[in-house]
Chains A and B, each alone.
Chain A
Amino acid sequence: MLADIITPDLFASALRMATPLALAAIGGTICERSGVVNIALEGIMLCGAFAGVAVTLAVGNAWLGVLAAVLAGVVIAAIHAFTSINLRSDQVVSGTAINILALGLTGFLMEILYGHPGTTEAVTTIKPIFRFASERGGGGFVAEVWHWVNTILFSHTPIVYMAIIIAIAMQWAMYNTRWGLHLRALGEHPRAVDTVGVSVLKGRWIAVLISGALAGLAGANLTLEQVGSFTENMTNGRGFIALAANIFGRWTPVGSYGASLLFGFADALQIKLQIFRGEINIPPQFFLMLPYILTVIVLAGVVGRSVGPAAVGKPYEKG
């Protein structure tokens, strides 16, 4: 049975499951590094997921849907940026409000646009980039290795690869560019940044908008590449798991991606185990709990030793 569970499929699925988490987590990393807590990732992702489907259904082009998802993410993030940076309101309250707003807004728009709650019609999903034949004649060891490599690495849709590229690019940018240095300083000591003539306001706005774009993209991956339709509250806590991944990844893009892989693997395993629930005598609800339990364990075990940006969550007041 173990051979049935540990298959190339499981790892490919882990990578898929990790993608929306990773994108949102990297967004969370960038946002928090600038000093703004973004608990609204969940809601932003949900809005992105909805906008992606809605636009795809309307115009029939999934890539325009992706663009719409990203823009929706940016727009919702702008609300968070305005309240927490300009109005200096409590960032957790603002984020929570956006999460509730997102839930209500998407449900409301479902009724308006499609006349019913629940799930939208299906859209044509974005297909995997590569289509190499998994079977290469002859069989044997080489064929087996190829089968694993092909399934795990080359079976994915574009946004999955995008997420990997984004993680690496952001990591590089954070430690090699002016933007990155300013970002790292912003969340630690905004006044120090201000006194050398770099705008705290602008820096934080940009960071929050980037996090919105990434969370929106995460939503697009969910609906336009994975599921193919939108269901109310379909993000189902992924935004929060992404926040945990960001912390577990010690506020770095690559770390966030790595942590997301772990959560993605838990999710993939959980799905796989569902298939074998007849043989394993454990109620399926327990499998469903797996990613969330892992989140709790990770947060309880690791966060105590992980130190975030010093000024995160604190509104900056000039003068």
Chain B
Amino acid sequence: MPLLELREITKVFPGVLANDRVSMRLERGEIVALLGENGAGKSTLMNVVYGLLTADGGEVLVDDAPVKIKSPRHAIDLGIGMVHQHFMLVEPLTVTENIVLGREPGRLGVIDFATARERVREISERYGLRVDPDAKIIDLSVGMQQRVEILKALYQGARVLILDEPTAVLTPQEVTELFTVVRSLVDEGLSAVFITHKLEEVVAIADRILVMRDGKVVGETTPAATDEIGLARMMVGRDVVLRIEKGASKRGATVLEVEDIHVDDDRGLEAVKGISFSVSGGEILAIAGVDGNGQRELVESIVGLRRPKGGRIELKGNDITHANARASIEAGVSHIPEDRHRRGLVLEFDIAENIILGDHRTPPVARNGIMHPKAITEVARKRIADYDIRTPSERVDAENLSGGNQQKVVVAREIGRNPELLVAAQPTRGLDVGAIEFVHRQIIRERDAGKAVLLVSLELEEVLSLADRILVIYEGRIVKEFAVADADAETLGYYMTGGGGSKIDKDAIPGTPETPATGGDE
């Protein structure tokens, strides 16, 4: 008897068929992965189950009994819990307060906090989800916050745990921990629905895989019966190249020259501690590293968003060390920022406006300080066509696009400007395989056109598949340089986590005299 069953669920949004007669079953003690690209209808389906949306057709059965789930409260009462992609946690409140919210123990409206804390401790011990019940959410790491979300669902009596893109915000180590947690929960008799677009996760965690595309279930399989390539094909509907073939690099003249720069972070601590490197035309230089080792500050100093406190940055021989963002653009630097929502786009602006930002002072978009709507439309339509942005019109607001299409807008703008240097910071973060392939192709096309590309990425796969040369950054310093042929994920990982010792590999720094590494300068 299935714990949860969906029969021919249909959900229509104005103009979009988000779920088209979707059926699925979930047995006790089972993990079902819902795999699909962004916008395939996975989250919509689960929001129907969780009572956030009402289906237009079909039925939901819990324990073989048909139910109309009207609200999240109702879903919770039926034993369905959901861990949302954006956490439903109140940051200034404590772990306990968040977990018991809505179901507080107590009498006459007065909360019995001692009992509440005790119950939280009980559940957290029973499932091995250790967390300080009195810590404030705001002081916890993202991985811990997610743990609180899971505890909240368990406290509410969840038998089914829906996890919506749970790994999007986690570090690789936290992902491993999460998988262990979910496994042990399922061993305890719970069931889980795991929503994701990441292939390797599905293979690692799922008992059964349901693949969705364009609102429909297009296939059902098990990890044993398929592999990542097969899943990717099902998910996208065509053959997807997970690792793009590229020709040999035709290195040209040096484009970017970074010399011993030092950059502070927002708290005034030195985040970049003397980095030197150069990037030539026709080459992709990747900077690999664990998040928070100075990548952000390094990128921002190169693209004119942060002032380095020491050192020199040159673009084709011109000093751009103290250039601001405008001067940087004018000098020929394009920037795909790591956070497309905060820095890449003005979400409330439409595609046309977003796609000409940065070009808004120069012809043909503007003449003598006056913008030309007709020219903007023309430029926008051309870029939309060139970069395959899926939208009914250039007047759609950026916030209404899928993540992949939003990133295409950013890529279209930055590459469309025809820069000398493209700085791409985590250019495929949060994208699904189809969109990743697209962005990777664009980056390689830039390289093949003789442009210099500086790629900063946390994803080793991405670094290994795109880069010609790799620098490993650790604690604000370059600790190792690789030619891509000499690098593999294991060795990179070793250096990224400080494995090479904190000594600086002088060979990695062009232009510094050959001296034996002294070692242990920290």
CB proximity to B under 8 Å, residues A160-194: 176-179, 181-182, 184-185, 188-189, 191-194
Interface centre among B50, B97, B110, by most A CB within 10 Å?
B110
- How many residues on the A side are at the interface (Cβ–Cβ under 8 A)? 20
Mark contacts of A124-151 with chain B using CB atoms, 8 A cut-off: 1 yes-contact digit, 0 otherwise: 0000000000000000000000000000
**A176, A189, A196: the one within 8 Å of B91 (CB):** A189
The answer to whether B111 and A188 touch across the interface, beta carbons within 8 angstroms, is no
**B52, B93, B101, B110: the one within 8 Å of A196 (CB):** B101
CB proximity to B under 8 Å, residues A176-222: 176-179, 181-182, 184-185, 188-189, 191-198
Interface centre among A176, A181, A188, A191, by most B CB within 10 Å?
A181
- What DSSP secondary structure best describes chain B's contact surface? loop
Given contacts A192-B101, A198-B102, 18 further A-B contacts (CB under 8 A): A176-B110, A178-B106, A178-B109, A181-B93, A182-B101, A184-B90, A185-B97, A189-B88, A192-B90, A193-B101, A195-B72, A195-B82, A196-B76, A196-B102, A196-B156, A197-B72, A197-B76, A198-B101
Given the known A-B contacts A188-B90, A194-B72, A197-B76, are A319 and B101 also in contact in the complex, defined by CB atoms under 8 Å? no
Docked Cα-Cα span, A195 to B156, in Å, equals 12
Docked Cα-Cα span, A184 to B101, in Å, equals 11
Closest to B112 in A: A176
Binding site for B on A (CB under 8 A): 176-179, 181-182, 184-185, 188-189, 191-198, 310, 319
- What DSSP secondary structure best describes chain A's contact surface? helix
Given the known A-B contacts A196-B72, A196-B73, A196-B102, are A184 and B111 also in contact in the complex, defined by CB atoms under 8 Å? no
CB of A223 to closest CB in B, whole Å: 34
Closest 8 CB pairs of A and B: A197-B73, A196-B102, A192-B88, A195-B72, A185-B90, A188-B90, A189-B90, A177-B109
Docked Cα-Cα span, A197 to B75, in Å, equals 10
Closest to B100 in A: A181
Mark contacts of B98-114 with chain A using CB atoms, 8 A cut-off: 1 yes-contact digit, 0 otherwise: 10011110100111010
Given the known A-B contacts A179-B109, A184-B93, are A193 and B52 also in contact in the complex, defined by CB atoms under 8 Å? no
Closest to B103 in A: A196
Docked Cα-Cα span, A198 to B91, in Å, equals 18
CB of B145 to closest CB in A, whole Å: 12
User: B402 contacts the other chain (Cβ, under 8 Å)?
Assistant: no
Given the known A-B contacts A181-B104, A197-B71, A197-B102, are A319 and B111 also in contact in the complex, defined by CB atoms under 8 Å? no
**B52, B93, B103: the one within 8 Å of A188 (CB):** B93
**B52, B82, B98: the one within 8 Å of A319 (CB):** B52
Given the known A-B contacts A178-B106, A181-B104, are A310 and B91 also in contact in the complex, defined by CB atoms under 8 Å? yes
- What are the residues of chain A within 8 A of B84 when measuring CB–CB? 195
Closest to A318 in B: B52
CB of A208 to closest CB in B, whole Å: 20
**B50, B72, B82, B111: the one within 8 Å of A177 (CB):** B111
**A178, A189, A197, A198: the one within 8 Å of B111 (CB):** A178
User: B92 contacts the other chain (Cβ, under 8 Å)?
Assistant: yes
Closest to A197 in B: B73
The answer to whether A188 and B92 touch across the interface, beta carbons within 8 angstroms, is yes
The answer to whether B97 and A181 touch across the interface, beta carbons within 8 angstroms, is yes
Closest to B156 in A: A196
User: B31 contacts the other chain (Cβ, under 8 Å)?
Assistant: no
- What are the residues of chain B within 8 A of A182 when measuring CB–CB? 101-102
